[in-house]
Amino acid sequence: MRVGGKWTAMVLRCLEDGTPRRFSELRVPLHWITPKVLTETLRAMERDGFLRRTVHDENPPRVEYALTDLGRSLITPLDAACAWARTHAPEITEARTAYERAAS
Amino acid sequence: MRVGGKWTAMVLRCLEDGTPRRFSELRVPLHWITPKVLTETLRAMERDGFLRRTVHDENPPRVEYALTDLGRSLITPLDAACAWARTHAPEITEARTAYERAAS
DNA sequence: CGGGATCCTTAAGGATACTG
DNA sequence: CAGTATCCTTAAGGATCCCG
């Protein structure tokens, strides 16, 4: 599953408000991810039905990406995971510190 | 985070009932994962405070792994993710089929 | 029994350059 | 603008053998 990919969650965040975004618009909040990697991520998400790719026949070309219902349904478990991370991050940090201390 | 690792979730499943398990016991349900990979996974999870490693001073040696409270707290979001996957797996399969069909 | 040491394969991710 | 093409680096994961 590409759900576990490095960029899938961040693309989801970029599109969760329902507004379609263009390829270049997506690159900005993603720290200027290279075109190749963004393309791979978007293609995989389109393939799995998480987003829809719309090509507008204009000049210059315009391509927009928007979440599908399936993609939107991912937001809930994603939020749950983020909430868990925020809540428990201090404990993890503490555990790591304790581990390092025990190692020395 | 090692939470996204390939084996972390499965180790969690092996220990979620609260019963401590030995190194060898863990290997069985994990399709005979190699010792190196299991060790790496367990060490990372111990480092992050998800489980506790207990060495019993016996002969032959006995080492047991058990979830901590922090590790148990991961079960909830993990269940949520699994529930999502079960619910939407057919949609993903269908989307992939449609994608393949459109490609040809 | 519970690993450590070593070597290897693969795939994700990325840098750079070019194109319809 | 929205990619494609090519090459490269790294690290996860794994196979195999060895040890206290």
Which of A48, A77, A99 is facing B47, going by the closest CB pair?
A: A99
Residue A5 CB neighbour total at 10 angstroms: 16
How far apart, in Å, are the Cα atoms of A82 and each of A79, A88, A102, B14, B74? 5, 10, 29, 24, 12
Distance of alpha carbon A48 from alpha carbon A59, whole angstroms:
29
Collect all residues with Cβ–Cβ distance below 8 Å to A53 and sequence separation of at least 6.
Answer: A42, A46, A63, A64, A65
CATH architecture for residues A1-72? Orthogonal Bundle (1.10)
pLDDT on residue B2: 67
Residues of B in contact with A73 (CB under 8 A): 84, 88
Q: Return the sign of the alpha-carbon dihedral for residues B21, B68, B84, B10.
A: negative
Render pLDDT for B17-63 as a digit per residue (tens, 0 to 9): 999 999 999 999 999 999 999 999 999 999 999 999 999 999 899 99
Best CA proximity match to A71, nearest among A53, A52, A54, A50: A50
Strand D positions closer than 7 A to protein CB: 1-6, 12-17, 20
Render pLDDT for A21-78 as a digit per residue (tens, 0 to 9): 999 999 999 999 999 999 999 999 999 999 999 999 998 999 999 999 999 999 999 9
Distance of alpha carbon B93 from alpha carbon A65, whole angstroms:
21
Does the CB of B77 sit below 7 A from strand C?
Answer: no
Paired residues of A55 in beta bridges = A63
H/E stretch holding A102: helix A75-103
